[in-house]
Structure 1
Amino acid sequence: MNSFKPISVGILAVVVSTFSVADDNTYNLIQVGSGNMASGDQGDLTVSNSLISQIQIGDNNRAMGEQKLFTESSEIIQLQVGSGNTATSNQSEAISSTAIVKQLGDSNNGTIEQTRVLDSYASINNVGGSDMVIFQVNSADAFADTVGIGTSNGVLFQRDGIGNAYTSVQTGSDNNFLSMQMGGAESNIVLLQFGNSLNASLSQTSSFASFSFVSQVNNNNIFVGTQEGLGNVSVGIQNGTSLEGEIEQLGSFNDGYVQQFGGLNVAEMAQGGDFNTGEILQFSGLLNEVIVLQLDAFNTAVAAQSGASNLTRLSQGTSGNLATSAQFGDNNTVLGLQ
């Protein structure tokens, strides 16, 4: 094994790069100070059983790790402590490989890009408030996760993937999350958000048999689930007040579910394709509102509310649709338009 381990203590750091036949290589870096940059590049014809490890302590530092051409059973691990730091990892043609970014501090940015990957893993953990971005393109059986504590933003982009899985946890206020699955099949997204003023958007475009789940706890939160493929499932659960949940179904044979617990909430469902199924349940609240819009044919929608002074609006634009409404409580209203 070739091993290069530069270590710097202080403002100036020593950065060592290695260019070797990429088998069982290790690149270790430690930088202490601010305004530093580290670049680890393992870019031979093949990268096998190799490691890039970068640790930076300080502010406004930048770390880049790259394993390209053909990467097998290799790792990129980046740890940053401080504020205003940036970490970027790139793996291409990766098989059974891992990329991990861990950041502690404010206003940091972590990005992982995996292209043409099989059975690989990407993970970003952030404490303090930062941007987290993961790209997985042309991937199969890949897994990714993000954990954000504080004011943080999370973005996932998956394109042309099969059998992928992604989980994200965000704790704090004013957090945003965006996920996009495009042209994939049998992929799963699970998002858990805890806090106030949260915003989540989960999109499945030209996807088949994929699943998305979002759970939001506390107040003033919003989520939107969009399905444009075939046979997808989208589920949203919200617990709190002044919530808004929306599911848009533009494909066929999709299933969408929204559950809200609390008052002053709004749930909307629009079905623009055929043979879609949607269900909205609002429990134990006041002044809640359900809006169901069925634009095409042979869709099924169910809306149920318990509490008082709630409103349900049902609108059907074509033929063969079925809408069912149930209300439990006092001073509730249902408006139906066919």
Structure 2
Amino acid sequence: MANSAEALIHIEDDRGTARQSGPGWRILVVDDDEQVHLATRLALEGMDFRGRELTLDSCYTAWEAFEYLAGTQDVAVVLLDVVMEDERAGLDLVRRIREELRNDQIRIVLRTGQPGYAPELEVIRQYDINDYKAKTELTVTRLASSIITALRSYEQIVALDRHRRGLEQVIKASADLFTERSLNEFSAGVLIQLAAQMGIEPEGLLCAQGTVDGPIIVAAAGRFAGHIRKPLAALGNMEIEAALLEAFSRREGFKSRGGDILYLQSGSAHPAAIYMATPTAVDEQKRDLVRLFTINVALGFETATLFEHLRSVAFTDPLTGLPNRAGFITALDRSP
């Protein structure tokens, strides 16, 4: 039975997609019956969604599950029994997840062996859940379908949240362009937005700005995070460095072997190029949206670069690179 459920997921969602080596989808099973945990593991064993494996964790009481969720940020779906310590333990946990943990992203599938305790329509109206099923209904195929639906919903909610956070960071940086970190914050917001639009984790992203001294990394995420404000050559990755230099030379973006290269040019003397690690193929519709986004971002990037330059001229001696009188006074004002 597990093999048929696995085939269902591959047919509907992962046709032609290779299994990725990144983190899997974390599923939490909450039930006071050990047999339910074993049956769920058997039913979902070996499955993956969009090339990422399902990772199952177990809790046996609502209290234990709340403590677990309070300390774990990457749970995508909770398979939750309604009746445990008492007949409303599961419903109370749903309320605590949404209200006390303020977690609106996690998707919840309620399961019950005693549906009379909590009528289905009433629960669906009152609680933010994805599905509510009697345990007798959940065959392997139906369980797989519920998981797929919940993961799709979780994926969309996370992407929307990244869009929002990225937009907030771009707006914050745009409104505070005179600060020292404005260019970095603006660029970081751009990376977050791009990751959300491409449907990938904001990991392994790099934004480089062309200068007379060579490209400089102005925003980075994931394994590149420690290279901000360093020369591109210091990255130590010849493949990425060559791809970005090629983008500056060609004045256009392209698909490289390990990712996507985007080129930002709006008339500035200091164009920018962005490297995005894309382990799986990105559909053409998403690529079109990203191209449109980069056109709009290019002007904002040029503005941020201009203010960064003005700030440098205002507070730094161009010959020595040391703070000038205004910079020295500003430093004194900031000191405790």
Could you say which TM-score interval applies, normalised by the shorter chain? under 0.3
Largest Rg, 1 or 2? 2
Q: Which has the higher strand share?
A: 1
Return the TM-score normalized by structure 2.
0.21
Higher relative contact order (CA 8 A, sep 6+): 2
Q: Which has the higher helix share?
A: 2
Return the TM-score normalized by structure 1.
0.21
